[in-house]
Structure 1
Amino acid sequence: MVATTILLMFMGFYALYSSSKRAVLNQSKFDIWLQEKYSPLKATGLLLITIALGVAILHKGFASGIFYWFIILMTLGSLIVLVSPLRVFNYKAIATTLICIVFIENFLI
């Protein structure tokens, strides 16, 4: 459930970040495609973040889930804003990180 919440939050925040006009955006094929889909991108990002909030509340409880959601939102938000202009995000890096999170969640904790 942690990996699901993190993945939904990452996708939602990155969609909102990509729809910003002031952000320094990458020129990869995926980012160009996201920039072309400007109008539904904000609604999709907000929907994904709201679903992540629901998953966090279901997994951790009401108050703990909201607090947990805010921690993930602040962490991923600052990570995306700081690292995205460096062009570090690609599907290989994101997939590797998600696989590591799922491994840690299921086998070590």
Structure 2
Amino acid sequence: MITTSILLNILGFYIFYATSKKTIYLPKLGFENKVQDHTLIARSIALIALSISLYLNTHSLGIVSGTLTFFIFLMTFGSLIILTAPLGLVNYYTLIISILLLAILEFSILQYASQ
């Protein structure tokens, strides 16, 4: 559930980043041009993704620690997006590898904790 929350957090922040008029970005994922054309719908989708991420965090970790974790994820992955997107490092390959590593780490920790 945390991996899904992280993925939604990354997606929401990246859509907000792509709709910004001040940033110069390289369209690597393919949907950035559509996001630039329909900013109101894209920002609504980004807000919904971030809201679902917040809900998943608070549902699995509790209200206070879930909210704190949400903001830690938002700051961490937001900083990574701001640093790596202008360099062209945000693409499907790095995103899929990162999510797979996070999922493996989450499931191994859950399996270890249940023993």
Please give the range of the TM-score, normalised by the shorter of the 2 chains: over 0.9
Match of 1:34? Answer: 35
CA-CA distance at 1:107 after TM superposition: 1.9
Aligned-residue sequence identity (percent) comes to: 31
Q: Which amino acid aligns with 1:16?
A: F
Match of 1:5? Answer: 5
Greater C-alpha radius of gyration: 2
TM norm structure 1? 0.93
Q: Which amino acid aligns with 1:15?
A: I
Match of 2:86? Answer: 85
Q: Which amino acid aligns with 1:9?
A: N
List, as ranges, runs of 4+ consecutive aligned residues in structure 1 with deviation greater than 4 Å. none
In structure 1, list runs of 5 or more residues that go unmatched. none
Match of 1:76? Answer: 77
RMSD after superposition? 1.3
Matches within 5 A, 1:20-59: 20-28=20-28, 29-59=30-60
Alignment size in residue pairs: 109
Match of 1:19? Answer: 19
SS in 2 for 1:21: coil
- The structure-2 alpha-carbon separation of the partners of 1:27 and 1:5, relative to structure 1 and needing over 3 Å to count, comes to closer
**1:36-84 per-position Cα deviation (integer Å, ceiling 9, x unaligned):** 2322011111110011000000010000001111100100111111111
